[in-house]
Structure 1
Amino acid sequence: MDEQSIDLRMQRTYKLLSEALYELILKQPFEEISVTDICKKAMVHRTTFYKHFQDKYQLLETIFSEEQRKFSELHISEGETEKEYYRRVLRQMFEYVKNNRVFFVQSASHIKNDFMANLLRNTVRTYLERCFRMDETRLGVPSAIPIPIMSEYYTGAAIALVMWWLQNGMEISIEQMVDYISLMIVW
C-alpha cells in the first residue's frame, strides 16, 4: 500500500474519532465518555484507536492542537498594522466560538475536573506566546514584560470574556466585542 493511501486512511480515522468525541461531549460529560463509546460512535475498532492514541485525553489534546494550528496559520498581512492584525485574530476567535458555541457551552457545564479547562488554557496561552514572540522578532525589540507573564494575563482575560459572552447569549456583536477589547488593550 502506498504512503498516500495510508495517510488518507489515517486522516479519515482521525476525522471520524474527532467528530465522534465532539458529538459525545455535546451529550455527556467528558469524564463519562469511554474509548469504547468513541469507537462505537466513529465505527472504528478499538485497536485502531489505540494505534493512533494512548487514550481519550490524547485524542482531545490532538483535537485542540489541530485547532490551535489553524489559528497559528494567521500571519500579519502586508501593510496590516499590529492593531489590525490582533483585531482580525480576535474577530476570528469570536467567530470560531460562535460557530462552536454548543460545544463550548456543553463542555463548560460538564467539566468536573480541570483537564479540559487546562487544555483550553494551554492552547490559548501557547498561541499567544507564539504571537508575542513573532512580534518581538519582527520588531527587533525585546518585550518590556516577560512573554510568559503577558501570555498568561491575556489568556485569562480572553477565556473569561469569551465565557461571559457565551453565558450572556452573545447579545453583543462580535465587532462590538472586538471594539471593546481593543479599547482595553494599550497598543
Structure 2
Amino acid sequence: MSRPPQAATPNVRVRRTRALLREALVELIEERGFERVTVGDLTTRAMVSRAAFYRNYRDKYALVEQIFDEAMAEMTADDADERTPGERWAGFFRHIDAYHRLYRALLGRKGSPWFADRMRTSLAAMTTTGHFPGHTADDLVPTVLAGMFVQSVVWWLEQDRPCPPEEIAARSARLIRAVIESTAD
C-alpha cells in the first residue's frame, strides 16, 4: 500500500507550534533583545518541547529565516505571476504588516543586526533576477536601494504603520524609482 503524498500545508499541530514559537520570539526580543534569546527560552515561553522546536527549526535563526523567506517568496513569485512590481511590494508590506511586532522587534533597537543585514542582502540580490535592470548584485545601486527599502520598513514600523501597506509600498517605490532613474546611464 502506498503512502498518501505529504500535504503542502503543515498540519494543525505544526502550524500551532510555529505560531506559538513566533509569538514567544517576539515577546522575548521585546524583553531581552534577539541576541540574548535562547532556544530554551523560546520553548519555555511557547510551552512546547525542545523536540518540537527542533522538528521545525535548527536554531532561532532558522525560525526568523522562515518568516522572512515567506515575505521574499511573496515578492519574488515566479515569472507567471502577473502582478506589477508595485503589487509585489505591496504584498511584501502586507506580510510585514501581518508580522509587524516581529519585524519591529527584529529591526528595532533590541533587534538583530544579523537579520537587518540578511534583509538588505536579500533585497539587494533581487537585482540578479531582473528586478532592477541594468545593475548587478555587486553594484552600489542595489545596496543603496536595499538600505532605503529596509529603512522604509523601519520607519513605517516605528511610526506604528501610519498608512496602509499599499501606500508605504507606493511611497517607497517612488523613492527607489528616483534613485534608479538618477543612476541610468
The residue identity in structure 2 corresponding to 1:103 is L
SS of 1:110's equivalent? coil
Query: Is the CA contact (8 Å cut-off) linking 1:87 and 1:178 kept in structure 2?
Result: yes
Write out per-residue CA displacement over residues 15-66 of structure 1, whole angstroms, 9 at most, x where no aligned residue: 4433432343344311222111211233321133234433212222222223
Alignment partner, residue 178 of structure 1: 170
Alignment partner, residue 50 of structure 1: 54
Which residue, out of 6, 23, 26, partners 1:22? 26
Query: Is the CA contact (8 Å cut-off) linking 2:90 and 2:170 kept in structure 1?
Result: yes
Alignment partner, residue 162 of structure 1: 153
Query: Is the CA contact (8 Å cut-off) linking 2:156 and 2:168 kept in structure 1?
Result: no
Alignment partner, residue 116 of structure 2: 117
Q: Distance in 2 between matches of 1:98 and 1:74?
A: 23
The residue identity in structure 1 corresponding to 2:110 is H
Query: Is the CA contact (8 Å cut-off) linking 2:26 and 2:105 kept in structure 1?
Result: no
Q: C-alpha displacement at 1:155, in angstroms? A: 0.7
Alignment partner, residue 140 of structure 1: none
Structure with the higher fraction of residues in helix conformation? 1
Alignment partner, residue 85 of structure 2: 86
Query: Is the CA contact (8 Å cut-off) linking 1:133 and 1:147 kept in structure 2?
Result: no
TM-score (norm 2): 0.67
Q: Is 1:152 matched up with 2:146?
A: no
Q: Calculate percent identity across the aligned residue pairs.
A: 24
The residue identity in structure 2 corresponding to 1:123 is S
Aligned residues: 171
Q: Distance in 2 between matches of 1:75 and 1:44?
A: 39
SS of 1:73's equivalent? coil
The residue identity in structure 2 corresponding to 1:37 is D
Write out per-residue CA displacement over residues 122-178 of structure 1, whole angstroms, 9 at most, x where no aligned residue: 33334x23xx52469xxxxxx533244243232111112232333445446653761
SS of 2:40's equivalent? helix
TM-score (norm 1): 0.66
